[in-house]
Every structure is written in C-alpha cells, then in structure tokens.
Chain A
Amino acid sequence: MCFKNLPIEFDAQGNASLKPGVANPYSYVETPAPTPIEDDPERMRELFARNGAVRRVDFDPVTRVAGALAFHTVVDLENRQVMETASMATLFRGYEIILKGRDPRDAIFISSRACGVCGGVHATCSALACEMAFGIKPPPMGVVARNLLLSTEYLYDHPIHLSLLAGPDFSEAAVRETNPEIWERARNTRTRGAAVHGYELMSDLMTDLTPLTGKLYLEGLYYTRLAREAYVLIGGKYPHPQTVVPGGVSTTIDASDLNEIMLRVVKYFDYGRKTAAIWDDLAEFFYEVNPKYRDIGTRPANMIEPGQWDDPYAYDGTYANADAWGRERWAPPGVLVDGELRTTSLKMLNAGVEEFVEHAFYEEWTGNGDEFYRHKTDPSGNPLSPWHPWNKETIPKPEATSWKEKYSWSTAPRWDRMAMETGAYSRIWVAAQTGPQAFRDSPYIESTGHSVKIHLPKAELPNTEIEWKVPETWGAFERNRARAYCILYTAAIAYDNLQLAYDLLKKGGPDARMSTPYEMPQDHRIGVGLWGAGRGYLTHHLEMDNGVLENYQILTPSTWMASPKDPFGNPGPYEEAVLATPLLENYEKPEDFKGIDVLRAIRSFDPCMPCTTHMHMDGRTVSREIISCACGADEVHEHH
C-alpha cells in the first residue's frame, strides 16, 4: 500500500484514483501546536522551582551549516533531555516574483542562484523541467556530461560536509571541551581501520579532524577543490555553472577534458576508502563509549529520494515514462517508511508531496482544500493535492516569531502527510533495498537488497570490496557514516560515466552530440525536474504559457528537514531528531552547557538553508506591498 494517509486508492492494474464519495478529500482539521513552555505560567512556576535546571538554549545561528538556520530549544539539564524544539529558516528572498514572466530557460541560471552550495544541481533540475515542458531529450552524450557534472559536484559536496561542517564536532578540540573523559579514552583506544586510514589511535584521528590545523580538515578542503576543478571543465564555473541548457550542455567535450576529469576522479577511490574507514571508526568508538550515542539525532527511517544520474539511453524527458527511466538511474528513486520501501515510482513520489504553511511566514492559499485548484491530477491522471507544488501559491507575510504560531521561512513539506528526511544516506539506502534484480547493471556497484557493495580498481590502496549495510539503528552517526560511503559510491558512478563518455567519443555520430536543437513552445505546458542534490531531494515544478513562466516551485532537501511543525501535529525532522537526542555532554553546572549533542544531531542532516525558503513562484500574487501591510500603514492587499 503506497499511501496510508492520503485519500488515494489503486485499482487492480495499479492505477491511482481518489477514494470515491469523499467531499474535499484532501481537507483536514488542524491539530494545534503544543503551547510553548514559556507561554504556560503554571508550568513555568513548576520549572522555576527546579533552580535553573531547565533552560532556554537558542542556537542562533547554527554555524557550520550552509545558510541561515537558527534552532530554539528548551532543555532539561538535570534529566538530560530536550523538552521543546523549533527549527527556524531565517531568510526569505522572494525569487517567486522575480521569476514570474521570464523565459523558462532563464530559470536555469536564476534558480541556480537559489543555492551557492549546490547550485549546479538546481541548474540541472531546472533544465530537466524545461525538457519535460518542451518535449525534448538530450543526446546520450548530453546525459553523460550531466552525470559527470553531478557526480563531480557531489565529490566536492560530501567532503565539505564531512570535513568542514560536521567533522569538527568529533575533533580533539571539541571533544576535550565537551567530554574530556572520552578524549582520555580515545588516547587508549586502537582504531579498526588503521590499515586503510593510517591512524593507530582514535585520539590521533580526532586531532586531525580539528579545524584549520588538522590534516583531515585540510585534506577535505583539498578534495572539495579537486572535484570542482573537474566540474568546471564541463560546467565552466562553480557553484553556478554556465553550460547547462535544456536538451544537454553547451560544452564541447574532447578526450583531453575526459582525461583531466578522470585523473581527478580516480583520486577519490582511495580518499573514499579512507573516509569510509574513518567514519566507521568514529561511529563504533562512540557507540562503545556509550550506546546512547546511537540515539543522537534518532528518528524513524522515513525518507524520500528522487534519485539521480540518468541512463543515457533510457531517459526521455517525458512524464509518461518517468517511472521507467527513474528506475534505470544509478541512484534509483524510492520512498522509505520505517526503513521499508513504500514505492519506487517517481510519479507516486511526486503525487504524495504536499507543502503546508501553518507555522511558516506565509498565508494559506487554498481555503483548506475545498476551493478550485488548477491541477487536480498530474499529466498521467494521478490525483494531486491542492497543496502539491504544481498548485502552490506563495503569499509571504513576515511577522514576529512565535513558537506557537509562525516561526520559520521554511514551509512544511510532507509525503503522505509524514515528515521525511533525505540525503546521501537516503540515496544509498534506497539503492541497497532496490535489490540485485531491479538495480541497473554496473561494473562497480551492486545492490544486495540490504546493502550496497562497491568495488573499484586499486589505486594506492587495494581494490577491497567496500560494503555499506542498512544500519540497525538510525541517528546522527549513521547519517555521517552513510555520507562517507557515498564518496565511493559517487566516484564509482563518475568512473562508470567516464567510460561511457570515452565510448561515445569513439563512436561519434549523433549520440555524441552535446545538446539537442528545439523550438520554444508557445502553448501551455507543465514540467518537473526530479533530481536529488548532494544532500537529497530536489524538484523544480514549472508551468509556462506564451513562452514565459507562469509558476515555478522549488522544493529542496532542507525544506523537508528544517521544516517547522505541520498541521497534523508532527514536528519537522530536525525538531523530531533533537527532541529524541540525549544530552551526553559532560557539564557540572547548567551554565557550562554548550549543546554539542544537539549540534551533532542537526549537522548530521547536512543542512543547507539558502534554497530552503524562497523559491516559490506564483503568477497571482504581487507582494512588494507586504512590507507596507506588515507595517499596518496600508491595509490594502493587492493580491491578483
């Protein structure tokens, strides 16, 4: 059963339709958010009697994440529990109106500017949405070039997170400051992976994770650059590439470019082996010190993954065949609920998505599902919610922050009305569960049904088979570990595609062209680009008419995960994970509390906020006057 909460049923052939006989099938009754502790006088008196054991701790900003994220908590430092959380995206740029009425191809460049960490994948996703709307597909070489762009992008992206953002929380300096007893233990603990990463003692490994001075930190920085050097050979520049076009890329690729890329990609074989061994050691060491470290950042394994890296011969840019070409991807799509695959259909993944704004600085636009909305179904006839991105309208309204009402510029996306996480780990997890029959043929990657095995040629280190297994428990350490394995997974895909590119060069002919010619359609069209970013789920939904954009909606990984509470009473993934996090930090007095376990939990999701909040475009609102409305000086709303 694909959906449990949405009013969708399936016939014997598997066709989806709305359950019959329900008026306003998508409408709901809002469950109010719990009263914030500080707004509850009785509770406050009770807490005050506890002499400062309960504190408000605001992490504003949460640093070492990309973009503007703030996180509010109330913590019980006596019982080492988190009592209240609120995740806040603190930036709104209003790209929606900026994109209105522009040439859809301009969205490739403008939407790239939504995110400077993973702008390349935004440009690509936008090109995919254009292709669906224009009815075109790239020649095989265009798809392979795109795969090379997006694999080298992730080879930069994973090290930046592991070394520069998350890694420092496990470094000597941080561990000595927050848990000196663990540092002492690390000095007497031998590692398991010394043969691969070269560190005999845990403490040596942790010393080298230290920001700026640590060898692993600096090595990570180097590897973020090396992959970008490969990227810019095709993309021109990074983070905002200059060569992504509908129907392929505008790059001319010759053997020299491929050689230059290949010589860089193969360096990630050993770096990937080493990084996997390091994060294996870190997870196992902390679990051994205290099994409760498994619960840092834990939540149910509910994940959404659109997949990426298209098969150059299967991808045809159509919505009609999206399920088929989706399943041929090197990272196949899927939705996991409690660690089990609910669907591998891109259309069902798309049909289950809704965005809610009860706790975000936007106004609700549908009248709770009972009004007319534009797209009752997708192009294949599957039902869509009024809160689906193709139906979304954005009416921003800045206001004071209130934990009970509105506190974030992020919406609350849900799939089948559940909060989902997404990332490198959902990618490798879905790939693992796809199984040997369904997973595409690849010389380097094998899906067993419960693990992913990667075998790459030897470099300096031997070609030992590396296996990532679906973990027994789910939390911050496992997120980081899975991401570390994804360096190798990504390198394998880059290498696979390099060989396809060499083959196409040898073959020549129309398949080796970089892009496909097309005419701009002038009639009404819709399209969607589904292609996960380095840190997970990404879709661009567009609607165009008369050759210009009428609606453009971007839904990003961190919108899913940094989301505030939804109308069904569920917290967003960061909020849920931090609520479940035990405070294992070593402090004697409440004043000494720093919050490292909270920060480890948040950072394990690889938050990337720039594109979380502001890529909702809609043709029907004009909102420069929201400023004056907000002032109260002008009560006239001119929403068209």
Chain B
Amino acid sequence: MSKLKLQTVPNAGGVFGAGVEGVGGLGGSPTGPLNIVHVFWIAGMSCDGCSIAATGATNPSVEDLLLGRIPNLPKVVLHHPVLSPGAGTEFIAPFRRAVDGTLGAPYVVVLEGSVPDDQAFPTEYGYFSGMGVGGFDPDHDTEQPIRVSDWLWRLAPGAAAYVAIGTCATWGGVPAAAGNITGSMSLTDFLGRDYRSALGVPVVNVPGCSPVGDNFTETVAAVLLFLANLAPVPKFDELGRPAWLFEETVHRHCPKAGYYEEGVFSEEPGDNQCLVEIGCWGPVVQCNIVERGAINHMGGCMVAGGACIGCTMPGFPDKFSPFYKAPPGSALSGGVSKVTGGAIRRLRRMSMQSGNSEPQWDKAGEVPSGWAGAGGGHGAVGRANAYFYKKLQYRGSVNYAKRNKQQPLPQSRNILGQGANLQPGAGVGDTFEHRETI
C-alpha cells in the first residue's frame, strides 16, 4: 500500500495571480511577429552576483527591456528567482510549460553560476543545486527538490538561445577551481561541443565575476535588434564572447597604462601608479571594465586602484593566483618599461612643460599667474631643448608662431594696481595701430 500523502494547493506562491505580465507572467503567441520573448533565468552554483550586476545596468536597464521601452524590440518576460513576484508552484509553472513545449512563445535561457555534476548520481542521493519540487513524472509526485542540472538539459533543445552570464556559467569560475568537490563546470562543458539552440546558435558567453551589467543587457539588446532586422549580426569570438566587448585587453584602455609606458609602478596598495607589480594581470586579460565603468560609467577595477585578477578569463581563478604576486611576465616587461619608460617620461615632461606655457609667456619670460611660484621662461638648457624640439616639430611644415613674432604683447590690465581707475579702452589705440601694420 502506498503512503498517504497530503493534498497540495495548485497556485502556491501565486500572490500576484496568474495573469501578470512583465516579470514572471505569461503572454505571447507562437505565430505572428516576434513581439514577446520569455527569459528563464536560472541560478546554478552561483552567488547571485550576476543578477545583482544586471540590476545595475543602465544602458539598457533591465526595466527598459521588461517594460518594452525600446521601439522595435520584443517585450521580454522575465522569470527570475530573485525578481519574480510569484513563488513556488506558480513561479515554476512557466518553466514546466517550456519543457513541455506548451509555452506558446519563444524562450531564452540565461544561466548564472556553474553546473554541478550531480547528474553523476541518482536523485535519491540528493543534489548540489536545487530549484522546484515534484519531479517531471506526473504519476509520481515527490517531495524531493529538482536538480538545477535537470532543468538545464530539459530546457536546452527548445531554447531559442542559451546565454551564460558570468565567469561561473561561462568558464566554471570559482566553484570549478582546484579542490572542486561538486564537479562544477561551465555550461559549455555541460552541454558539450555539439550543442546548438533551436535557432542553431552555440552557448553565448558573457564573462566577468561579476560581469559589467551593461555588457549583459547590451548583448541582449544587440541580439534582439538583429532579430528585429535593425542592427548587424552581432559578432562573437571563438569562445562565444561578444567580440566587440572582449577583444581588447583591459590594459589598452586602462587609465594607469600610461604609467606602465613611462615605467612607474605602485609599490604599495594605495599608490596611484601602474599596479602590475602588486599583482595586476591587466596586460593579458580581455575585459572592458575600465572604459565602460562598473556601473553607470563609474568605477572599474584599476580606475579605483584595484589590480586585475583576470576574472573574465577561462583560467580564473587558478591561473591568476596568488593574486597579490606580480605576474611572472611582468618582471621582464616591467623591467624593460622602467628603462625605456624612464627616458620617455623625462622627454615628455619637457614637452609638457613647454605646452604649459603660453607663447607670450615664453617671450615675456614670466608667468603672470597668481597661483604658483611658476617661474616662467626657460633656463639655458630649456631654451636649447625648445630650439631643437621646435626644429623637429615644424620640419616640413609651418611654424605659425613665427608669423606672430613681431606682434606686440597684449598688455596686462593689472586690475588690482589700477583699482577704480581702470578705464576700458585706455591705451588700446597704439596696440591696434601696430597690429594693422603687421
């Protein structure tokens, strides 16, 4: 005799009713134009940091996508464990319809977090990451949690696209680092080389730990704009990363990269120069956080003085740790940079000094600024430097400054000296006369 079981309720957690659109409801039709897309956001071996990063995106923002604020883009209906209004049975219902093929609209699956290898043992031995209860067999109600890995493979064939967000989902990340006892792996590793979505696309990877929120929302927008026949085909690199976001190294756009070039390095945390010697991997890491900022164009690791630890890369974290040790390659490249950069820095300082002086200050030999002890003019060495510098600068071109050589200096009005006696126009006539004759 089978065990007696209590009845359940059909809409547990459905505190917003079943018909709510936007976050976590249903809607759309299988035919007709693409006006609605369901997004199933699933968290595996995750810290939820990618969800948090996505809520920080501003261009476009999550609400821009969900409220249909962008013309010609289909409306996104999001099923998200952190954001959806409904809970429990009510929340899970659309996931079940997607698995059954009865959703009635196309869907995209977004995975945050890596995938544990709990498919390696039978369900009665438990799980590492669970979501939902009741299993998939309508004849056998069970109180055991459903493994997230079950959802992932069941949703795979019907998904229009499969997007991995963050370094755990894209490359395994911290849960898959050395010592990984749960068998954690990336979505690509889990689904295998031959996986293609219903639209024929392999897994799209938006890495970062956590990723820049805008990198994710912009990728979504780029794909949808393409599907709406507006934007060109988004380009992805050989690892499925949006190429326009990840093809450059983060060092190339780093605000401290110039220090590297001039051979000046931070020695202690809190110093303002290039961070390579306190462990920055920026020169070999593909990431755009310093140009895009972390949130709403603010921050970014090295912008704030944080050394890059390679968190967007497939080798993270093990190939970049211990994090506070300078990368081995930096001894060579940094050493070279200190020698050549030191010379470059000195030459630049001379040019900068010249650029910081109005031509007429050069002539007058003084800087009439009340701010500083800026002496103005140049010593003998400075004048010699300036002479050769200008020779080089204007070779094959015109030195405009020369044409004005005879121009008289405009006169300081010396406001404090004249006080209330300052007469607009006084003494101007002479100067103008001279000018006309030049």
Interface residues of A (CB under 8 A from B): 37-38, 41, 44-45, 47-48, 52, 54-68, 70, 72, 74, 88, 90-95, 97-103, 105-106, 109-110, 113-117, 119, 142, 160, 164-165, 168-169, 173-174, 177-178, 211-213, 218, 221, 224-225, 228-229, 231-243, 245, 247-252, 260, 361, 396, 398-401, 513-515, 517, 590-596, 599, 610-611, 622-624, 626-627, 630-632
Contacts and interface: CB of A to CB of B under 8 A. Distances in A.
B88 interface: yes
Interface in B285-333: 289, 293-296, 298-309, 311, 317, 321-325
A124 to B, nearest CB: 14
A236 B128 contact: no
Given A44-B4, A59-B13, A399-B125, A232 B131 contact: no
Contacts of A178: 15
Nearest to B47: A116
Given A55-B6, A59-B87, A239 B53 contact: yes
B298 A119 contact: no
A248 B278 CA distance: 14
Given A229-B296, A243-B305, 19 more contacts: A41-B4, A58-B133, A67-B46, A98-B180, A102-B322, A105-B324, A116-B50, A174-B15, A178-B15, A225-B58, A225-B296, A233-B298, A237-B294, A242-B301, A242-B304, A396-B181, A398-B128, A624-B183, A627-B120
A338 B296 CA distance: 44
8 contacts: A45-B4, A57-B9, A95-B174, A164-B83, A237-B301, A242-B307, A249-B305, A400-B123
A119 B53 CA distance: 12
Contacts of B7: 52, 55-56, 590
B186 interface: no
A515 B130 contact: no
B94 interface: no
B422 interface: no
Nearest to B20: A173
A249 B269 contact: yes
Label chain B's interface by main secondary structure.
loop
A260 B298 CA distance: 10
Interface in B130-184: 130-134, 143-145, 173-175, 177-184
Contacts of B51: 66, 116
A631 B13 contact: no
A98 B178 contact: yes
Contact of B126 (A231, A399, A596): A399
A611 B47 contact: yes
Nearest to B124: A400
A236 B63 contact: no
B120 to A, nearest CB: 6
A66 B91 CA distance: 15
A322 B272 CA distance: 32
Most buried by A among B52, B84, B308, B322: B52
A41 B9 CA distance: 21
Given A47-B6, A160-B55, A239-B210, A63 B306 contact: no
Most buried by B among A58, A65, A232: A232
Given A103-B321, A114-B47, A610-B46, A90 B304 contact: no
Contacts of B22: 211-213
Contact of B300 (A64, A93, A237, A592): A237
B347 interface: no
Contacts of B91: 61, 63
Contact of A229 (B134, B295, B325): B295
Select the residue from B6, B90, B180 with max chain A CB neighbours within 10 A: B6
B182 A92 contact: yes
Contact of B9 (A88, A250, A593): A593
A438 B143 CA distance: 51
A361 B126 contact: yes
Contacts of A631: 120-122, 125
A625 B360 CA distance: 79
Given A224-B56, A225-B58, A631-B122, A109 B304 contact: no
B74 interface: no
A55 B308 CA distance: 53
A168 B308 CA distance: 38
A240 B209 contact: yes
A622 B46 CA distance: 22
A258 B331 CA distance: 35
B8 interface: yes
Contacts of B80: 63
Contacts of A93: 45, 116, 128, 174-175, 182, 184
A63 B81 contact: yes
B218 to A, nearest CB: 16
Contacts of B433: none
A59 B88 contact: yes
Contact of A59 (B6, B12, B23, B300): B12
A251 B270 contact: yes
A66 B48 contact: yes
Interface string B395-436: 000000000000000000000000000000000000000000
B117 interface: yes
Contacts of A260: 298
A6 to B, nearest CB: 32
A596 B86 CA distance: 10
B14 interface: yes
A62 to B, nearest CB: 6
B94 to A, nearest CB: 12
Given A116-B48, A517-B268, A400 B144 contact: yes
Contacts of A626: 181
A113 B9 contact: no
Given A38-B6, A591-B9, A238 B67 contact: no
Interface string B70-112: 0000000000111111111111100000000000000000000
Contacts of A252: 270-272, 305
Contact of B5 (A38, A105, A117): A38
B49 A239 contact: yes
B295 A68 contact: no
Residue of A97, A115, A212 most packed against chain B (CB within 10 A): A212
B174 A110 contact: yes
Contact of B130 (A62, A74, A91): A91
Contacts of B307: 242, 250
Contacts of B210: 116, 119, 237-240
A248 B270 contact: yes
Most buried by B among A165, A174, A228, A590: A228
Contacts of B184: 93
B3 interface: yes
A515 B294 contact: no
Contact of B299 (A62, A65, A235, A398): A235
A212 B82 contact: no
A630 to B, nearest CB: 4
B110 to A, nearest CB: 15
B257 to A, nearest CB: 16
A119 B209 CA distance: 11
